[in-house]
Amino acid sequence: MTSQDIKRLNRRRAALVGFAVLMILIGLGMIVANPKIGLTVGSIWILIFGILPLVVAIRSGKKVPPESADFIASDRRSFAVFSSWYWINDKGIWKDNKLLYIWSEIKDIQILRTWVESRTKARTFTVADAALNQGPDAVVYGVVRVFLNDGRSLELNNVVDPERVVNYIKNVYLKKQ
């Protein structure tokens, strides 16, 4: 993630916070305007359109490392804002915005398992297409294990294109040691 991407993410987060504050104020206005009905409707409005975007904006701010880094994996593909994100850069491997391991602590990295997921829209997707890995919506995911010098290991799930990621890490970061 480049500094431009971080600036773009910060602008989106600021817009989301602004939207959340506006929705909270609208909900409070509903409560004040008609206390009987407005209390229920306004409270639901504040919860759905005010508090939830605010939580998402705050949580997404804690996911990006303080310096430029490349995204490599997420714990889960669903509810990505609430899962952990893994990043790499010249210093090492990051989990959300905290540096987990520097490159000198890492001995090796290997792919444990890969699979292909396809997200087809309206066209027919045949077994032959899946076997040939064709189609713009076919994505290769994998599980990658990072082995540390002290015998521990770290497993990264849902790495997109794990072969490319592992080769990149081995050629760029682990060769320097």
CATH number for the domain spanning 97: value is 2.30.29
52 or 82: whose pLDDT is higher? 52
Res. 148: pLDDT tops 60: yes
> What is the pLDDT, as a whole number, of residue 33?
79
On whether both 86 and 28 belong to a single domain, the answer is no
What pLDDT was estimated at residue 147?
A: 96
Is the CB of residue 164 less than 8 Å from the CB of residue 140? Answer: no
Give 84 or 152, the one with higher predicted confidence.
152
The structural domain count of the chain equals 2
**pTM of structure:** 0.65
Q: Are residues 87 and 157 in the same domain?
A: yes
Is the backbone of residue 147 left (phi > 0), alpha (psi -120 to 50) or beta?
A: beta
Closest CA to 16 of 57, 47, 44: 57
Q: Which range, of 3-17, 27-41, 86-100, averages the lowest pLDDT?
A: 3-17
What is the rounded average pLDDT for all residues in the chain? 79
Beta strand 106-118 with 98-102: parallel, antiparallel or unpaired? unpaired
Q: Looking at the structure, do residues 42 and 128 belong to the same domain, yes or no?
A: no
Would you state the pLDDT for residue 63? 74
Residue 135 in contact with residue 120, Cβ under 8 Å? yes
pLDDT at 132 over 90: no
Closest to 94 measured CA to CA, from 30, 146, 135, 49: 146
Residue 140: strand pairing partners: 116
Q: Which pLDDT belongs to residue 79? A: 44
Q: How far is CA 30 from CA 23, 33, 50, 176, in A?
A: 11, 5, 13, 61
pLDDT tens digit string along 47-73? 777 777 777 777 777 777 778 778 788
Residue 156 lies in a domain: yes
Give domain status of residue 177, yes or no: no
Do residue 34 and residue 78 come from a single domain? no
